[in-house]
Structure 1
Amino acid sequence: MDKATALRQATDAVTVFAQVVTDYGQGSPEAASAEEGVRRTFLVARAHGATDGDLRATHCR
């Protein structure tokens, strides 16, 4: 996997998280699971060279 692919996966995870929060609420088990998914994809992206700025930008794409 390259950095661009890892960032694309992180962006997708953020999008899913936002939708889950909208559908089920911030404190729901579904939101907690989606948030954990975001964390995992961010760690993978970091391992592939993503910077703080790259990760902050994931919610803007």
Structure 2
Amino acid sequence: MGKGKLVQRDRELADLLQRLHFVLNLCLAALVVVHVAAVLKHRLLDRDEVFGRMLPFRAGKR
């Protein structure tokens, strides 16, 4: 089997996909930051057991 191209090179499409990739990476990073902030809020400010319930290895778990 020979190596054939499935599609032609398209600079506009490449630029669009590169921008989309960048924006999605920013969204993922923002989601991680917000999640860590929520964990810290529950752990340090609320002092509730939400953090402990998420741990799979906590003591006293059945």
**Range into which the TM-score falls when normalised by the shorter chain:** 0.3 to 0.5
TM value normalised by structure 1: 0.42
Instruction: Report which of the two structures shows the higher radius of gyration computed on alpha carbons.
Output: 2
Higher helix residue share:
1
In the superposition, the TM-score normalised over structure 2's length comes to 0.41
